Amino acid sequence: MHTAAAAIREAGGQALPIVGDVRDDEAVAGAIAKAVEVFGGIDLVVNNASAIALQGFGELSVKRYDLMLDINVRGTFSVLTHARPHLLESEDPRVLTLSPPLNPDPAWLAQHAPYTLSKYGMTMLTQGFAEQHREQRIAASCLWPQTLIATAAVQNVVGGDEAMRSARTPEIMADAAAVVLGLPWEEATGRCFVDETVLREAGVTDFSRYLHEGATEEGLEADLFL
């Protein structure tokens, strides 16, 4: 976290690193209050905190289930709850949640119902937040990758080195997020975007720059839920 803050500052931005736990309601409230104190308000909330466990019934423990739901769903709810008063004061309030479009295909439930529930829960909360605050013009959207992304979760949980060789770099999600956050609010709110589609519609045609080391366009693996 502190190295990320240093990189942000080096790039010319401002950063306030706070050690916390998104499951702890008081910690969330404190972090948001501190951000408002330092920066003068909140214009954008990104719900990025997430836990992943792909085991199903008979394999996933109740403790791991609770952890995943507390981080993914309860954490999203807590952050939006505490950030809401400040978003309502913003001239251009935005919410971006890293969660997938709702896809009722039972394949996702058969493979990993608990994880599916948690990620769809993040999406439903975000879409509900968008609709509840449509008159207040809070643009709340979701963003999900078309392919695997080279993250620690993919390395450690999804498929190790083989999965990393089938992945794109996180930069594609950052670029897609920038496009989504730049859309007029009425074009963004309540929608679930996919990174590749967003960038293609923005005129990007060369995706080779996003390939992780060892990956090829032909060998990319689609992410879950698509």
Write out pLDDT tens, residues 207-225. Answer: 999 999 999 999 999 999 9
pLDDT in tens, 47-100: 999 999 999 999 999 999 999 999 999 999 999 999 999 999 999 999 999 999
Q: Is residue 225 part of a domain?
A: no
Q: Is residue 23 part of a domain?
A: no
> Does the pLDDT of residue 159 top 80, yes or no?
no
The domain that contains 144 carries what CATH number?
3.40.50.720
Residue 101 near residue 225, CB atoms below 8 Å: yes
Residue 118 near residue 64, CB atoms below 8 Å: no
Lowest mean pLDDT among 31-40, 53-62, 153-162, 198-207: 153-162
Q: Is residue 219 part of a domain?
A: no
Q: What percent of the chain has pLDDT over 70?
A: 100
Where helices occur in 106-190 by DSSP H, the ranges are: 106-132, 152-153, 160-164, 171-181, 185-188
Q: From the candidates 65, 115, 120, 210, which is the catalytic residue?
A: 115
Q: Is residue 12 part of a domain?
A: no
Q: Is residue 181 part of a domain?
A: yes
Q: Is residue 127 part of a domain?
A: yes
Predicted pLDDT of residue 121: 98
Contacts of 70 (CB under 8 A, 6+ apart): 23
Per the structure, the complete domain to which residue 155 belongs is given by 41-210
Residue 125 near residue 218, CB atoms below 8 Å: no
Q: Is residue 69 part of a domain?
A: yes
Residue 157 near residue 53, CB atoms below 8 Å: yes
| 115 belongs to the catalytic site | yes
Predicted pLDDT of residue 129: 98
Q: How confident is the model at residue 156 (pLDDT cuts 50, 70, 90)?
A: confident
Q: Is residue 15 part of a domain?
A: no
Q: Tell the residue number behind the tokens 């954008």, with chain if given.
A: 44
> Does the pLDDT of residue 106 top 80, yes or no?
yes
Number of domains in the chain: 1
